[in-house]
């Protein structure tokens, strides 16, 4: 189990190193996750047999406590509560308008794609 956790952290470290060395516009942990995915692809096996049992155990443990990883992201904005409160009307308007535009674009895309599928 410790080896699996060390492997995950090693992939994250390699990802961080590569992203910083080449100034890639991608988070290091995402690049590291891609490396881990590629390693599992080349490992061989079928279905879930590609994932070693210790790695699956560590991954399940991390996913089981995933909500704890969002605490810093939720606490961070509280440092800027005064700034957020001062701009609440502008932020609310931006969220409402962007959500409405996104929903309209999604609906239009769906209608376009579903009608083109009916023609075929």
Tell me the per-residue pLDDT of 43-92, one tens digit each, with 9 for 90 and over.
876 665 778 889 999 999 999 998 887 787 778 788 889 999 999 999 99
Q: Are residues 79 and 111 in the same domain?
A: yes
Does 24 score more than 80 pLDDT? yes
Q: Are residues 92 and 120 in the same domain?
A: yes
Does 10 score more than 60 pLDDT? yes
Residue 62's nearest CA partner among 42, 33, 40 is 33
Instruction: Tell me the C-alpha distance between 64 and 110, whole Å.
Output: 34
Q: What is the pLDDT of residue 45?
A: 66
Query: Which residue blocks in 27-87 are alpha helix, DSSP H?
Result: 28-43, 53-64, 66-69, 71-75, 81-86
* CA-based torsion, 115, 118, 119, 120: positive or negative: positive
Q: Are residues 5 and 63 in the same domain?
A: yes
Q: Are residues 62 and 79 in the same domain?
A: no
Overall domain count for the chain: 2
Range of the domain at 98: 75-120
pTM of the model: 0.58
DSSP 87: T
Maximum distance among all alpha carbons in the chain? Answer: 56
Q: Are residues 10 and 36 in the same domain?
A: yes
């Amino acid at each position: 189990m410790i080896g699996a956790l060390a492997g995950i952290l090693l992939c994250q470290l390699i990802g961080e190193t590569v992203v910083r060395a080449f100034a890639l516009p991608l988070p290091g942990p995402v690049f590291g996750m891609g490396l881990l995915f590629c390693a599992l692809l080349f490992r061989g096996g079928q279905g879930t047999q590609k994932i070693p049992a210790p790695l699956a155990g560590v991954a399940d443990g991390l996913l089981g406590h995933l909500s704890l990883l969002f605490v810093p992201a939720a606490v961070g904005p509280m440092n800027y509560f005064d700034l957020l409160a001062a701009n609440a009307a502008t932020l609310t308007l931006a969220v409402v308008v962007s959500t409405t535009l996104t929903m309209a674009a999604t609906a239009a895309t769906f209608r376009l794609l579903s009608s083109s599928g009916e023609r075929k």
